[in-house]
Chain A
Amino acid sequence: MSNNLRFKTSKFIDETYRVSFKFNNKTYFGFKGDTLASALLANGIHLVGRSFKYHRPRGIMTSGSEEPNAIIQLHDNSSRTEPNVRATEVEIYEGLVASSQNCWPSVNFDIGGINNLLSPILPAGFYYKTFMWPASFWEKYEYFIRKSAGLGKSPKVVDPDIYEHNYIHCDVLVIGAGISGIMAAKMAAKNGFKTLLVDEKSYLGGSSIYDNSEFSKINNQLTSSWLEKEINEISKLENLEIKIRTSVAAYHGYNFLLARESLTDHLPINQRDNKVRHRLLKIRAKKVITATGSIERPLIFDNNDRPGILLSSAIKKYIDLYGVACGENNVLFTNNDTAYETAMSLIQRGIRINAIIDNREQVDSKICYEVEKNNIKIYKGFSVVDTYGYRRINKISIMKLSKDGQTVIGDKTKLTCDCLGLSGGWTPAVHLFTQSGGKLKFREEDQVFIPDVYPSDQISIGSCNGDFGLNEIIKNTLSSLKKFLNIDNSEYKTLEIISGLNQSKRNIWLLPSDKTIGKTKSFVDYQNDATSKDIKLALREGFRSIEHVKRYTTTGMGTDQGKLGNMHALGIISETAGTKMGEHGTTTFRPPYTPLTFGTIVGRNVGEFFDVFRRTPIHDWHVKNSAEFENVGQWKRAWYYPKENENMYQAVQRESKAARDSAGILDASTLGKIDIQGTDASEFLNRVYTNAWSKLAVGKCRYGLMLNEDGMVYDDGVTTRLGENHYIMTTTTGGAANVLGKLEDYLQTEWPELDVYLSSVTDHYATISVCGPNSKKIVSKVIPDLDYSDEKFPHMSFKNAKIGNIKCRVMRISFTGEQSYEINIQANFGKSVWEKCMDAGKDFNITPYGTETMHLLRAEKGFIIVGQDTDATLTPIDLQMDWIVSKKKYDFIGKRSLYRSDTIREDRKQLVGLLTENPEEVLEEGAQIVSDVKKSPIEMLGHVTSSYYSPNLKKSIALGVVKSGKNLLGQKLIIPMENKNINVIVADPVFFDKEGKRLNA
């Protein structure tokens, strides 16, 4: 540690607590209270990374969340590794490990640096222009670009940290704990508002907390001392909650905000176990006070990006807060008074200032006179035109500015320095305000955008509202807060404020150079290496909107969203195009204000909670019997039950055969079940299904097809009439929630006169379907008290029954074409009844089958699966299901659409059966269907929707949709595959037991 750079007098640094850390594999020391940036600077390290495009050496530029350059990889090669972390925000702790990004093989020698020499041929839009053509070249470039570009490495293993989400409700949220934020929090809390104060930093007070200048005083006390007492006072207020290390990421409408509270990032790794790392706060505030301060602007001139060039305010903060000098030979370059505050801080510590370069001709505030009195040379009306030094600045050259500021004149003077502070004035941090939907206005006199129209109950105060002098900040903060909170008592009766600063500024967005612009590199966006030249090129090429210029040049597109340079980009555009500021729009700041890790965003929704799934009451049995599962909607459904070494195909063939030869059992609990009651229930069903329902007798079941109003098939299922005014409807597994929603919609909005009530009872019942020639024998063993004769209990009917004392419903309905019985029983008895059935079926080789076998069996029967054989483009007529569309009913949902000019076309895609010429060949679902492979382009007639090898028919069967399919029966079509064409014959979609004899066998 260089003793020349550290001043052990800061009360924010604990000099008794030494902390060691590693940067680029070398060990350094800092103190508790340091950020990684301040500790590196104390060690004389400025060069911390390489720029994104040209790989230019870059140093620490700022002292906060606006940092564009010093973005590093934290925790090398560990599960916690994190890219793009701002060294200026990382609080150091014992054992911290960090390294530079964007450089290979090392930060001091970087291969990509060659891009800097190639920069004349790497203008804005270079990537777009070059790699667009020829397309095949992209693959060749890509390897090199990916290796040399990119921002850091993402972690490759599971994040070990815990994250959580919290909701907070408050009367007043104050964002930013600078001087105006502290005052706001005190006034709100003392006047009975439940208040939350958040600040992204680890301390309260903002930049005023280290303002020890004699030139800005409150009640004759140093600003820092006065503010310290205020902070002390508010920390005792009961009505006020204070959260530090809490960065507001997003400000949405209706005063809904997201903030990240960082809880362990400042702790040594071994103290983080079992603690929450970040908390994502979801804040709903009645009123929001934004006091986010302002960000100092850099100045835009040739080579303004070398390590050792910092914002002037950052130099001041490193000295006053961390006790760290950024250089031993300083030069400040400014267009306003604030750099003189930095000068006074340096003078107080006895740090050398070689010169101050001031764009202004006239410098006449108290603080400037004081600096001059200390024998500091001030070059008034001058500008820096170039800088020198590769890994660290060592010289600058300056020239006199012409009267209009458009050119530089006279001789070039060279000055040595190892640190250059820039002050281009201040940009209000309006990011959150604009995120909330606020409209900005442009203030000509000092060239800033400030809040104008508030979209919700909120206010901006302090320098984010464009008040920069201490006097204006305090005066305006008090008056606007009184109005905003509707209070008389401000808590601040007599505040006497002394401010030695003047607000004069000479704003020149792009400083002139003695070189032509083509020969300069004046960086506007440091992180993305966008220069003034790039912006001018974009304008020359015809881009006008700031949003287009931004994308073309990548200005403001980095992880810092251009917090430093966006204003200059706007300024250069308006100067070049000769338009007014704001005329081209201001760029949109999007959440998050600073990047969030994915962990913070997902919170506890990781692992098994990432996407929770629903289990049937029989799930555990399936698991125990080695079922493979498939996801259907949110459900886990048993897919097939492989035995020993069976693969899926073998298992499904065995299950399908067993179900037709003797008996199969299926867990159908996931089917949607809607209980429908009311005196108009029959009429309601008449209106929602395509077929007629009024004449369905009590105790009978009927299959129904539901359409959308556009005539397309929406859902299907069997509905049973339980009583005169009582039905139970089943829906597809995936469609259950939507069907209920749709029915409710019609009931509440179109037919409120109908007396009908709907309840979802899907979870209330377990549904066990036993099918096959022996199903009757099995079910009659489980439920002996029923008459199973075809006369008393025919196909498509239902009976109330009991298993022991437990009531259940038995439906004789079939989705397989076999005789089957469906037992519906209270969910918690599902598993035991399933086991009873298994037991009863032992002698009949009862075989549990999953969804895959169910699909195969129904395909043999040509039954559709909504969503597999249909998409939202098929009518019942297209599906050859004309029989289910009532001709007599006056109306039902979708009826009118069935004879629109488009739906009656003969050449619509229609569902057909497909048989391969070679019966052993199984088609691929989704494969295209054509008739002529020689014609170019080949006409696509349709595609295969379902395809299986049928063990019962001993041949391959498929369903598909084909243009004019109904008329192609018996004709040959072709399925072109990657390396062969497969011939198929169009067939009837019902392949098995067309007469339905097996239902009553």
Chain B
Amino acid sequence: MFLINCPFCGEREQSEFKAGGEAHIVRPKQPTELSDDEWAEYLFMRKNIKGVQFERWNHIHGCRKWFNMARDTSNDQIKAVYKMGEKPPVK
């Protein structure tokens, strides 16, 4: 069970949070101008890597805020948490 440092509330237990999939996938501003393939790329394609992965998390039983997390999927070490719209502070 992770300890997650919510950027708004501080360190809380994982059970207060919900994972929300890969981060930094921006919804296209003009979806109607995309081909089926381009739209499918946005809609369906997600990374599943062993190593540092950038994820969205929601402090669902706390401040309800969404934020980003860089987590090493091989050992669950959290490398960084940062707010929505911010660039990842680690590689």
Residues of A within 8 A of B (CB): 252-254, 256, 284, 437, 455, 709-710, 741, 744-745, 748-750, 752, 890-891, 895-897, 900-901
Contact = CB atoms under 8 A, between A and B. Distances in A.
A873 to B, nearest CB: 15
29 contacts: A253-B1, A253-B2, A253-B75, A253-B76, A254-B1, A254-B2, A284-B13, A455-B75, A709-B27, A709-B43, A710-B43, A741-B58, A744-B66, A748-B65, A748-B84, A749-B66, A749-B84, A752-B84, A890-B32, A895-B31, A895-B32, A896-B31, A896-B32, A896-B34, A896-B39, A897-B43, A900-B39, A900-B40, A901-B36
Task: Give the 3 A-B CB pairs with smallest separation, nearest first.
Answer: A896-B31, A256-B1, A748-B66
B75 A744 contact: no
Residue of A252, A253, A284, A455 most packed against chain B (CB within 10 A): A253
Nearest to B31: A896
B3 A254 contact: yes
Contacts of B75: 253, 437, 455
B20 interface: yes
Interface residues of B, number: 26
Contacts, number: 53
Contacts of B85: 752
Contacts of B39: 896-897, 900
A745 B27 contact: no
A252 B30 CA distance: 45
Interface string B8-44: 0000010000101000001100111010100110010
A749 B3 CA distance: 23
Given A744-B64, A749-B66, A252 B1 contact: yes
Interface string B51-91: 00000101010001110000000011000000011000000
Contacts of B43: 709-710, 897
Given A254-B76, A284-B3, 16 more contacts: A252-B1, A253-B2, A253-B75, A253-B76, A254-B3, A710-B43, A741-B60, A744-B58, A744-B64, A744-B66, A745-B66, A748-B84, A750-B27, A891-B31, A896-B31, A900-B40
B83 to A, nearest CB: 10
A689 to B, nearest CB: 16
Contacts of A253: 1-2, 75-76
Contacts of A752: 84-85
Interface of B: 1-3, 13, 18, 20, 26-27, 30-32, 34, 36, 39-40, 43, 56, 58, 60, 64-66, 75-76, 84-85
Contacts of B60: 741
Contacts of A741: 18, 58, 60
Nearest to B4: A254
Nearest to B64: A744
A748 B85 CA distance: 10
A245 to B, nearest CB: 24
A437 B76 CA distance: 10
Contacts of B31: 891, 895-896
A256 B2 CA distance: 8
A111 B45 CA distance: 59
A884 B56 CA distance: 32
B19 to A, nearest CB: 12
Contacts of B65: 748
Residue of B18, B20, B43, B60 most packed against chain A (CB within 10 A): B43
Contacts of A901: 36
B76 to A, nearest CB: 5
Contacts of A897: 39, 43
A896 B36 CA distance: 9
A947 B66 CA distance: 42
A745 B32 contact: no
Contacts of A709: 27, 43
A286 to B, nearest CB: 11
A891 B26 CA distance: 15
Contacts of A744: 58, 64, 66
Nearest to B56: A749
A900 B37 CA distance: 9
Residue of B1, B13, B34, B40 most packed against chain A (CB within 10 A): B1
B14 to A, nearest CB: 8
A170 B36 CA distance: 55
A252 B64 CA distance: 26
A161 to B, nearest CB: 26
Nearest to B40: A900
B33 to A, nearest CB: 9
Residue of B2, B18, B20, B27 most packed against chain A (CB within 10 A): B27
Nearest to B14: A254
Contacts of A891: 30-32
A256 B64 CA distance: 24
A744 B84 CA distance: 13
Contacts of B1: 252-254, 256
A901 B36 CA distance: 7
Contacts of A749: 56, 66, 84
Contacts of B58: 741, 744-745
Contacts of B3: 254, 284
A896 B41 CA distance: 13
Contacts of B27: 709, 750
A918 to B, nearest CB: 45
Nearest to A709: B43
A710 B40 CA distance: 9
A47 to B, nearest CB: 44
A321 B55 CA distance: 55
Contacts of A748: 65-66, 84
A741 B57 CA distance: 12
A109 to B, nearest CB: 50
B85 to A, nearest CB: 7
A745 B25 CA distance: 13
Nearest to A896: B31
A891 B34 CA distance: 12
A920 B69 CA distance: 59
Nearest to A900: B36
Nearest to B67: A748
Nearest to B68: A749
Contacts of A710: 43
B74 to A, nearest CB: 9
A158 B20 CA distance: 39
B28 to A, nearest CB: 8
A254 B58 CA distance: 20
A901 B76 CA distance: 39
Contacts of B26: 750
Nearest to A737: B60
A172 B40 CA distance: 50
Contacts of B56: 749
Contacts of A745: 20, 58, 66
Nearest to A253: B76
A750 B3 CA distance: 27
Nearest to B66: A748
Nearest to B83: A748
A434 to B, nearest CB: 13
A900 B20 CA distance: 25
A748 B76 CA distance: 26
Contacts of B2: 253-254
Nearest to A256: B1
A321 to B, nearest CB: 37
A823 to B, nearest CB: 30
A891 B32 CA distance: 8
Nearest to A745: B66
A752 B30 CA distance: 17
Contacts of B32: 890-891, 895-896
A334 to B, nearest CB: 40
A676 to B, nearest CB: 15
Contacts of A750: 26-27
A946 to B, nearest CB: 30
A572 to B, nearest CB: 31
